[in-house]
Amino acid sequence: MDHARRPLIAGNWKMNGLAADAEARGRDLAGRTRAGDAPPCDWLVCPPATAIPVVVAAVAGAPVAVGGQDCHAAASGAHTGDIAARMLADAGCGYVIVGHSERRADHGEDDAAIAAKAAAAHAAGLVAIVCVGETEAERDAGRAHAVVARQIAGSIPAGATAANTVVAYEPVWAIGTGRTPTVDDVQAMHAHIRGCVPPSIDAAALRILYGGSVKPGNAAALLRLPDVDGALVGGASLVVDDFWAIGEATR
């Protein structure tokens, strides 16, 4: 972890919890960040869309940002069930995740669709967290670096910068499985990503997160890697003690 880049610890709560659960989790996290001697990182939580307003209220005044888990590429229109990036911004979000592997797999989103969503996020003033990562079959075939390079080229829109874009590397085969690549594999992929981002992005300033079964037990080993600038945390972000322990690993 390069300390010139402030680490970002982002929690993706996925489709879990009702408003009361989200509010309590947000208040707990916010209270810890206000208590003094907080870890030297930025905090972000991405609750289900229905819980965004209560979480925004729960963390008000604390150094905790709120983000959406997805957005539509259009600013408005006949898109039943979708949410525009500017609606997320209007609700108090500062970030949005785009291209998560679950969206790519479950909803058939390709790189072009993800780039359009990231561009919409930028237009709305949001930071886009662009997710990339290979499947187990792609890694076993020796194609992991080529797949991720293709996703980077296709998923990051023109005009992206290190200020409005974060990249999250999530080896698909490690999400929710308890498996993680070796630290050497993680560092090699993060360095590879830093080397193939488009020229509009200052690669040295770009934050690249690792996402794939991050837990308190493996966070320190991952976050000390020179090209790992934080974590995109799934299940462990639903338990504030665990999420906070991951942030502590940035010290």
145 is catalytic: no
| Phi, psi values for residue 217, rounded to 5° | -70, -25
CA dihedral 80, 81, 86, 92 (to 10 degrees): 150
Q: The dihedral of CA 222, 228, 232, 238: what is its sign? A: positive
Helices (H) then strands (E): counts for the chain: 10, 8
100 is catalytic: yes
Of these residues, 100, 109, 122, 138, which one is catalytic? Answer: 100
Give the separation between CA 161 and CA 2, rounded to whole angstroms.
Answer: 18
State the DSSP code for 181: -
Contacts of 241 (CB under 8 A, 6+ apart): none
Three-state DSSP state, 162: coil
3-state secondary structure of 2: coil
Identify the bridge partners of residue 12 per DSSP, sorted by sequence position: 46
Q: Is 52 exposed, middle or buried (0-12, 13-18, 19+ CB in 10 A)?
A: buried
Gap between the Cα atoms of 75 and 123, Å rounded: 9
Catalytic residue among 23, 134, 138, 170: 170
Q: Within 66-211, where are the H helices?
A: 85-90, 101-107, 111-123, 136-140, 144-155, 183-196
| Catalytic residue numbers, as ranges | 100, 170
